Amino acid sequence: MYQKYKSAELVKPGGLDLKDRLVGVQRVTKVTKGGRAFGFSAIVVVGDEAGVVGQGLGKSKDVASAIAKAVEDAKKNLVRIPIRKGTLPHEQKGKFGGARVNIIPAAPGTGVIAGGAVRTVLEAVGVHDVLSKSQG
């Protein structure tokens, strides 16, 4: 299996109590000579709130099956994230396309200071105290 990061520990879903969280649903349109064909794509994050998280993308003609496919895909992409005292061990910077995300460890009692998809992922991991900035 292709693994992007050597330090990321892949996890098997067996025996884990995974909770799924919906990040977003998009309606996509394919224009054909017979008219418009509508479909849906769903992005889901699953996690056990104890350091294991996975993300998945599902596509279908209806929303419910797109979400179900996304959950199955997310369970195939589980990784373990180190958590120290309810926060991350060090600052992380992520980049994909035009988006940039900075995630900074925080003191106990700070809470999850993040918006949108970043908050969903951090809550699924089980991080309680963190600062983040999403740009782009």
The pTM for the full model equals: 0.84
Whether 58 and 119 share a structural domain: no
Residue 2 inside a domain? The answer is no
Whether 25 and 68 share a structural domain: yes
- Find the mean pLDDT for residues 107-114: 93
Whether 31 and 61 share a structural domain: yes
**Total number of domains constituting the chain:** 2
Residue 97 inside a domain? The answer is yes
Whether 74 and 13 share a structural domain: yes
Above 90 in pLDDT, residue 136? no
Q: Which residue has the higher pLDDT, 132 or 10?
A: 132
- Find the mean pLDDT for residues 32-50: 94
Whether 75 and 97 share a structural domain: no
d(CA 30, CA 9): 38
| pLDDT attached to residue 3 | 59
Whether 13 and 73 share a structural domain: yes
121: containing domain: 92-134
Above 90 in pLDDT, residue 59? yes
d(CA 32, CA 13): 40
